[in-house]
Amino acid sequence: MTGWYLSLLLHALMNSKTRKERLVVIGGCAAGMSAASKAKRLRPGMEVIAVEKSPHVSYSACGIPYFVSDLVRDADELVSVTPDEFRTRRGIDVRVMHDVVAIAPGKRQVTAVDVRGGAEICLAYDQLLISVGGCPRIPADAGLSGSNVFSIQTLQDGIAIKGFIDTHQPKRAVIIGAGYIGMEMAEACRTRGLETAVIEQKDQILGGFEAEVSKKVLSELARQQVFVHTGATVTQTHTEAARVTSLTLTNGETLSCCLVLVCAGVTPNTALAKMAGVRLGSTGAIAVDWKMRTCANNIYAAGDCVEVKNLVSGRPDYIPLGHTANKQGRVAGENIGGGTARFRGVVGTSVFKVFDLEVARTGLGCAQANRLGFDARSVTVLSGEKAAYFPRASQISTTVIFDQRSGRLLGAQMVGSAGVSKRIDVFAAALLNKMDLEAMTALDLSYAPPFAPVWDPVLVAVNVARGKLRR
């Protein structure tokens, strides 16, 4: 018996030395493929398998509105690396069109189904990364279903929307939701010649932005003949031949439509995490530590399915953004590969374009900051984005949110026709370093007439805010 036991043990040890360690990645977009690539670079001998339910991996979801508008002519232009390139150049086994339906942590095994034929496969893992992103938020009880109703989550969604417009030449679009994607899709629809209306359940578009910013964007939408209905939700849909033909709103108004785009935000996709016994955080997204590890052994998570630390509030937050997902994936991949990378958190910096405006924010809004216990106040300042005498000089509206007691910067928001996208990064860097307004007045910002006035809009706004502090 002893000899048999030792022989069996020796056989197991020999197999453990010869078998490659395996990383399985669930989800093939920003976080997943960043992690897979980083882990493979650090440990070339590791077997890496990435499982993705759509036909595409490693693409720019943020570019979808520009693909729909025809600014980007081919969907392939949005793809950074194809599945074949991952296999042949990076040694990563990418399984597209496979949907993971179960995780068994006790067995260290995942089960996936081939969506093309239903065949089931089981994959053992040594390390597992959950990077399944978010789920489109679909308004409840609105009956929003039909062959002309689309959400915008994947590249395949973008291909379907563009294909529908190209084939059916719709005349009128209704967009549900007035956040970033809703604004970008409003521009895309107008660029394609569609009459466009936006429905927003809140009283203000762009939730989380200050009223001054929202008003300027609303004015731009009106100038571009986008009709906005705030404080409204869909109460009834009217269909014909499996297509939604009109929507009735809470105010009794009925909007006819040929195309409906649901852009009401996302919620973290946590179904697989729950199945695996992975703990969710206070935001409802997956809780992870600074290494992107979950509470379950050998299971990591990254991207829009996880919560992050808000470095301004110091609390958990859910801020699904593409650049954050890429950074989290890289950190997870480095740690899976044996490194000690750290994801500190975010300050929530974002920017988008809507027609002729650039709109950006970072940090907390004023109302949000006050709810979190700060003594917050905001100032809004209009100033030039370049020397006033320079051709095509325009103005930027800058809103600064700050704590009146300490003078600490809490957030900033900007809107203008030019010069916004990189100036918001100055505020983001200041937030990361917990700068107060006094320190910010000493920032040595660049000056030349084509790019900035002597007093940059950042400094002008900070100095005005500093003058409002309690002394």
Query: Which residues does 116 contact at the CB level (< 8 Å), separation at least 6?
Result: 97
Compute the distance between CA of residue 92 and CA of residue 334 in angstroms, rounded to an integer.
Answer: 16
Buried b (16+ CB within 10 A) or exposed e, 370-397: beeebebbbbbbebbbbbeeeeebebbb
Pairing of strands 266-268, 134-136: antiparallel
C-beta separation of 86 from 59 below 8 A: no
Compute the distance between CA of residue 118 and CA of residue 98 in angstroms, rounded to an integer.
Answer: 9
Query: Which residue of the set 62, 122, 263, 295 is catalytic?
Result: 62
Structure tokens at 17: 């030395």
| Rg, the chain, Cα only | 25
C-beta separation of 27 from 130 below 8 A: yes
Q: What is the DSSP string of 236-279?
A: EEEEETTEEEEEEETTS-EEE-SEEEE---EEE--HHHHHTTPP
H/E segment holding residue 102 = strand 98-104
Residue 62 is a catalytic residue:
yes
Total residues found in the chain within this entry: 471
Gap between the terminal Cα atoms of the chain: 84
How many CB atoms are located within 10 Å of the residue 471 CB?
A: 3
C-beta separation of 285 from 305 below 8 A: yes
Compute the distance between CA of residue 153 and CA of residue 81 in angstroms, rounded to an integer.
Answer: 19
Compute the distance between CA of residue 452 and CA of residue 393 in angstroms, rounded to an integer.
Answer: 10
Residues with active-site annotation? 62
